[in-house]
Amino acid sequence: MASPYPDGDREKVASKLPAPLQQALKIRAAELALDIQEAVEAGITAWRALSSPHDPDTVDTTGARSFSTWLPPGMYDDFKATCAERNVSYTQGLAQSVNVWLTVNPSPRQTTTIAVEPERKIVGNQKGGVGKTAVSAGIGQAYAEAGKRVLIVDFDPQGHLSEQLGVPQIEPEHDSLVSHMCGDSKGELRDLVVTIEDPRYGKRLNVLPACFDGFLLDAKIAVVATQKRGFQKEAALELALRPLETDYDVVIIDCPPSLGIAMDAALYYGRRRRDTPPGTSGVIIPVLAEDSSATAYGMLAQQIEDLCEDLSQEIDYLGLVVNLYDSRRGYVATSSLESWKAIGDPKVLAVIGDLKEQREAVRKRMPLLSYAPHSDQAEAMRQVARGATR
């Protein structure tokens, strides 16, 4: 049952939780300097984001004792709805949620296992204004919310992703991703990474900012390729990011609206690796429900095909995201949506409406999943993240 929070921004929830889980939750939250309510909120969010067949095992709730906390308004109702869908009791759902949070937030006194190969998600489209930045940021937040360590690379020199998340863009002539790609770096790339400070993500959401020098990247790499024997321009991004990869479970590349060398380097970075299951890494393509998006998609698909043929590689399509959809725009919008769905492979991961929350989050320089975690757009980003991971 729920009752209002004194300040009105949360509601008290009374339930039950096994004593061992209560104790573990209390200790772990203290170790990580978090309020218990923040930990439970993150756990419920992560548990609800899980999809079958990856749902957690049943927790023994024998002897569960009274437990109460404070959750954002509406979250408990959403939680109960998910419990009903999964045919579990509220006590069992809460126990699983806390268990998930404990699993993805290990004690700092423990040695964590480092993933050898991160998932690499390349978000690109030759057409601008289709929502590449919104999708890159949104799925990054969704992965971090669910417990994964995430690096979002703002690979677009326009720097929209950095700006939207309140991260300063790197000034010209300073150490940057471009300088590391071109082999004239002055320091460690890791030192340029900015962590988004928000309890929802537990320091797992990180951004490599854009740099103004990015507008010259294609020209600079072309020059380096002529000067350095054996330099492979398509591998420049991979070589620059390699020292960071062991720090992350997912690396997301927010690409510029380009078909040039920079896009080749991003696509090459997202290729399928040896001994890596198909669909682990690859390309996510945001599109609009209009004819110009279909043309741009065809151009990108041709670039992917040419790159695979030239370099004897495989690049997986993780899916399409139909963004800013509004059926009120009539036949062009509705028929275009049906055309995208009819492709089949790549599949449509989500259809995201032209809603206000994303624009409001941008105006406030906040992550969408922090500003409006229960909005339809936030849920769509979680859906894309789940669908783009096999």
Residue 264 inside a domain? The answer is yes
Same domain, 87 and 228: no
φ and ψ at 277, to 5 degrees?
Answer: -60, 145
Q: What is the pLDDT of residue 39?
A: 92
Do 50 and 151 fall within a single domain? no
The confidence score (pLDDT) of residue 233 equals: 86
338 and 204 within one domain? yes
Q: Is 57 found in the same domain as 192? A: no
End residue of a domain, out of 104, 134, 158: 104
Which of the given ranges, 229-233, 291-295, 309-313, has the highest pLDDT on average? 309-313
Q: Which of 45, 79, 104 is the last residue of a domain?
A: 104
109 is a domain residue: no
Q: What are phi and psi of 72, to 5 degrees?
A: -60, 150
Tell me if 84 is assigned to some domain. yes
Which domain does 313 fall in, by range?
A: 119-387
User: Can you give the pLDDT at residue 54?
Assistant: 44
- Examine residue 53 and say whether the peptide bond preceding it is cis (omega within 30 degrees of 0): yes
Q: What is the pLDDT of residues 255-266, one digit of tens each?
A: 988 888 999 999
Q: Are 82 and 90 in contact (CB under 8 A)?
A: no
pLDDT band at 113 (very low <50, low <70, confident <90, very high): very low
Distance, in Å, from the CA atom of 146 to the CA atom of 143, rounded to the nearest integer, reads 5
Residues 347 and 319 in one domain: yes
Select the more confidently predicted residue: 183 or 366.
Answer: 366
For residue 6, is pLDDT > 60?
no
94 and 11 housed in the same domain: yes
Average pLDDT over residues 22-49: 89
What is the structure's pLDDT at 119? 95
More confident residue, 116 or 50: 50
Q: Which tokens sit at 177?
A: 């991703």
Instruction: Give me the pLDDT at residue 8, please.
Output: 54
Question: Taking 70 as the threshold, does the pLDDT of residue 214 lie above it?
Answer: yes
Lowest mean pLDDT among 105-119, 149-163, 205-219: 105-119
pLDDT the model gives residue 291? 79
Q: How does residue 224 score in pLDDT terms, banded at 50, 70 and 90?
A: confident
- Asked whether residue 111 is assigned to any structural domain, the reply reads no
Domain harbouring 234, CATH code = 3.40.50.300
Give CA separation, 335 vs 287, 338, 341, 342, 387, in Å. Answer: 14, 5, 10, 10, 23
Co-location of 313 and 244 in the same domain: yes
Q: DSSP letter at 43? A: H
Per the CB < 8 A criterion, the answer to whether 259 and 300 are in contact is: yes
pLDDT at 115 over 50: no
Q: Does one domain contain both 198 and 90?
A: no
pLDDT above 80: residue 51: no
Higher local confidence (pLDDT), 75 or 107: 75
**Structural domain includes residue 382:** yes
Residue 166 has pLDDT above 50, yes or no: yes
Tell me how many domains the chain contains: 2
Is 383 inside a domain boundary?
yes
Mean per-residue pLDDT, 177-206: 91
Q: Which of 104, 132, 157 is the last residue of a domain?
A: 104
User: Is the residue at 213 inside a domain?
Assistant: yes
Q: Mean of the per-residue pLDDT values for the chain?
A: 87
Does residue 156 share a domain with residue 35? no
Q: How far apart are CA 382 and CA 181, in angstroms?
A: 31
Q: Report pLDDT digits (tens) over 141-160.
A: 999 999 999 999 999 989 99
